[in-house]
Chains A and B, each alone.
Chain A
Amino acid sequence: MYIFHNAMRNITRYKGRSILIGIITGVIAVACCIALCIRQAAVTAKEDGLADLAITAQISVDRQGMMERSQQSGEDMRQALSGAQDLSLEQLELYATAECVQRFTYTISSSLSAAGELEPFSTDSAAQQSGSGQDGDMPGGMGGRSQMGVQGDFTVSGYTDAGDISGYQQGTLALTSGQLPDFSAGDNSCLISSELATLNGLAVGDTITLKNPSADSETYALTVTGIYQNSSSDSGQMGPMFSTASDPANQIITSFATLQQICTDSASRATTSTDADTGITSTSALRSQTAGTYYFADVAHYEQFEEQARALGLPDDYTVQSSDISRFEQSLTPLENLSNFAGWFLLVVLAIGAVILVVFGIFTIRERKYEVGVLTAIGMKKSKVALQFVLEMFCVTVASFIIGTGIGAVASVPVGNALLSAQQSSTSQSIQQPGDMGGRGADKNTAAASGDMPGGAPGGFGGMVQGAADYVDQVNASLDLQVLLQLLGLGIALSIVSSAVGVVFIMRYEPLQILADR
Chain B
Amino acid sequence: MSILQLDQVGYSYTGTRQRVQVLRDISYQFSPGSVYGIVGRSGAGKTTLLSLLSGLTLPTSGRVLFDGRDLAACDRYRYRSRDVGVVFQSFNLLPSLTATENIVLSMHISGKQYRDYRGHALKLLQKVGIEREKADRRVLHLSGGEQQRVAIARALSYDPAVILADEPTGNLDETTQDQVMAILTQLAHRENKCVIIVTHSPAVARQVDMLYKLAPLQ
Residues of A at the B interface (CB closer than 8 Å) are 2, 6, 9-10, 13-14, 371, 373-381, 511-512, 515, 518
Contacts and interface: CB of A to CB of B under 8 A. Distances in A.
B78 interface: yes
A377 B108 contact: no
Contacts of B106: 378
A379 B82 contact: yes
Interface string B73-100: 0000111111000101010111010000
B57 interface: yes
Interface string B115-136: 0000000000000000000000
Interface residues of B, number: 23
Contacts of B79: 379
Contact of A511 (B56, B82, B94): B56
B142 interface: no
Interface in B99-115: 101, 105-106, 108-110
Contacts, number: 51
Pairs of residues from A and B, 7 with the lowest C-beta to C-beta distance, nearest first: A379-B81, A379-B80, A2-B108, A512-B56, A380-B109, A381-B77, A374-B92
Interface of B: 51, 56-57, 77-82, 86, 88, 90, 92-94, 96, 101, 105-106, 108-110, 154
Contacts of A375: 94, 109
B109 A512 contact: no
B50 to A, nearest CB: 11
A515 B90 CA distance: 9
A377 B86 contact: yes
B213 to A, nearest CB: 24
Given A377-B92, A515-B88, 4 more contacts: A377-B88, A378-B80, A511-B56, A512-B51
Contacts of B108: 2, 6
13 contacts: A2-B105, A2-B109, A10-B96, A13-B96, A14-B96, A371-B96, A373-B92, A374-B94, A375-B94, A377-B88, A379-B78, A512-B51, A515-B92
Contact of B93 (A6, A373, A374, A379): A374
B81 A512 contact: no
Contact of A379 (B57, B88, B94, B109): B109
B86 A378 contact: yes
Nearest to B83: A379
Contacts of B94: 371, 374-375
A14 B95 CA distance: 12
A371 B95 CA distance: 9
Contacts of A14: 96
B77 A379 contact: yes
A505 B61 CA distance: 29
A463 B124 CA distance: 92
A512 B57 contact: yes
A10 B77 CA distance: 22
A2 B96 CA distance: 17
Given A371-B94, A518-B90, A378 B109 contact: yes
A380 B93 CA distance: 14
Contacts of A512: 51, 56-57
A371 B90 CA distance: 14
A379 B92 contact: no
Interface centre among A9, A375, A377 (most CB of B within 10 A): A377
B105 A377 contact: no
Contacts of B51: 512
Contacts of B154: 378
B74 to A, nearest CB: 12
A320 B95 CA distance: 78
Interface centre among A6, A379, A381, A511 (most CB of B within 10 A): A379
Given A13-B96, A515-B88, A379 B110 contact: yes
A122 B56 CA distance: 100
Contacts of A379: 77-82, 109-110
Given A13-B96, A515-B92, A377 B109 contact: no
Contact of A380 (B81, B86, B88, B101): B81
B170 to A, nearest CB: 16
Contacts of A13: 96
A517 to B, nearest CB: 11
A509 to B, nearest CB: 13
A518 B92 CA distance: 10
Contacts of B101: 9
A10 B106 CA distance: 16
